[in-house]
Amino acid sequence: MITCIAVDDEPLALRQIISYIEKTPFLQLRGKFSNALMVNEYLRTNSADLIFLDINMPDINGIELAKSLENPPKIIFTTAHSQYAIDGYKVNAIDYLLKPIEYENFLQAVIKANDFINKERLLKTEIKNTDDYLFIKSGQRHIRVNFNDIKYIEAQKEYVNINLINSDPVKTLIRLKNIEDILPKSNFMRIHRSYIVNLNHIVTVEHNRIIYNSKEFIVVSDTYLNKFMEFINTRFYK
pLDDT at res. 32: 95
Extract the residue ranges of the chain whose pLDDT is less than 50. 88
- DSSP secondary structure string for all residues of 179-225: HHHHS-TTTEEEEETTEEEEGGG--EEETTEEEEETTEEEEPPHHHH
Indicate the CATH number of 128-233 among 3.30.1300.10, 1.25.40.10, 1.10.760.10, 2.40.50.1020: 2.40.50.1020
Query: pLDDT tens, 74-130?
Result: 999 998 876 655 554 556 788 989 999 999 999 999 999 999 888 777 766 666 666
For the domain made up of 2-124, the CATH class stated in words is alpha beta
Domain borders along the chain are: 2-124, 128-233
Residue 181 sits at the vertex; the CA angle it makes with 144 and 42, to the nearest 5 degrees, is 150
Q: What is the pLDDT of residue 188?
A: 95
How far apart, in whole angstroms, are the C-alpha atoms of residue 230 and residue 199? 13
Write out the DSSP string of the chain. Answer: -EEEEEE-SSHHHHHHHHHHHHHSTTEEEEEEESSHHHHHHHHHH---SEEEEES--SSS-HHHHHHH-SSPPEEEEEES-GGGHHHHHHTT-SEEEESSPPHHHHHHHHHHHHHHHHHHHHHHHT-EE-SSEEEEEETTEEEEEEGGGEEEEEEETTEEEEEESSS--EEESS-HHHHHHHS-TTTEEEEETTEEEEGGG--EEETTEEEEETTEEEEPPHHHHHHHHHHHHTT---
Predicted confidence at residue 232, as pLDDT, reads 86
Q: What phi and psi values does residue 214 have, to the nearest 5 degrees?
A: -65, -20
| pLDDT score for 192 | 93
